Structure 1
Amino acid sequence: MRIRTYTRPCGATGCPERSRIEYRARHELNGISPVWLCADHARPEEVLGAANTSTSMVLVTAPHYSGTPETLTGQYWFREGAQTPSRAVLAGPGFRAVAAKLPEGTRLTVTARVDIPGAEPTPDVAPTDPLAAFLADLAELTARHQLVIAGCGCEGSPWLENLDGPTDFRNIPERLTYDRATGRYTTE
């Protein structure tokens, strides 16, 4: 019997993607919806690019029951808040997590990030970690102004230095103060 191809376009306006399904008999297409969305349009929040450089998902282990009467089929990973299990084993680049080998309620956070050449790097900062957020912002300031905070622990520490040269600003420590009322640094 000859192999035929059923082609359907992505349902998103202007998208050039096509789905191709090979079949031998017409009945094999029963239940195939003529409406289809490509991966970019079905789950746009998961598509990484210049506008969305990172994505994250949390999964939790829990027992799964099925059948009548309900019987335990095993421990699975569930997307946080979902009622339907995802899989018993999750794997990706650099990790493999078997739900049955972990206690119920174990959380798996999977994060993916792209660093596009020439673009501002996406900092690895947890929004609840103020020190990590401060250090990420400080790294951006260092890159933008080409100044780095340096010091040796002595009375004149810390000071500012040019990132790319020997010139330093050792006179700033005596005069640099933070004004809490205005939220600014001043040199007096």
Structure 2
Amino acid sequence: MGLDLRICPSCGDRADRPVVDGSTLECARCGHRWPFRKLPLFALTGPSGAGKSTLGPLLAARFGGDVVVLEQDVLWTGALRDDVPAFRAAWLRMAAMLHQNGRPVVLCGTVAPPEFEPLPERAFFSDIHYLALVGSPESLRRRLRARPAWREWDEARIEEMLEFTEWLRKSADELGVELFDTTDVSAETAADHAEKWIRARLP
């Protein structure tokens, strides 16, 4: 069984669109079938400034290796910055490879279901659960304005993020996204909520 689930371990062909039957993959070229671990993926999402990066280390410490917590922006570099679907697909492939080690992944980063659900790599997961941290416009503006200059948060970009937040609040029920408002809560309280939310959905 290979770690990159798009590559057939028998003939080496790489599938652009994997053929999945439950937790079994099938090579469209040679017909070889092999099992894989099909686990849920946890997307800790929401607008920038709502607290995702703060919660990541707290959750990693609380789960103690039983769950892998990753920061999405680490791959926001090079050619992937110019091809957002490829960026999303790369993360799904990475998470699926980590799942083959038997540990579910919590991916911290701004993403919405329409960006993950249509991708071919979505078939590698039993579910993708979405928990979105949100905040009031005033709190998000304050936090983003306080960020260092290298993160390039000018006023136009901040307003775009506030528009995304408003869209997320209005669309959450339809998209199947759970919201948690961090405006007036401590990081520990937010981590308590996220930990409980993840544990309730673990296999």
User: Per the shorter chain, which TM-score range?
Assistant: under 0.3
More helix by share: 2
Q: Greater RCO between the two (CA within 8 Å, min separation 6)?
A: 2
More strand by share: 1
Calculate the TM-score normalised by the size of structure 1: 0.23
Higher Cα radius of gyration: 1
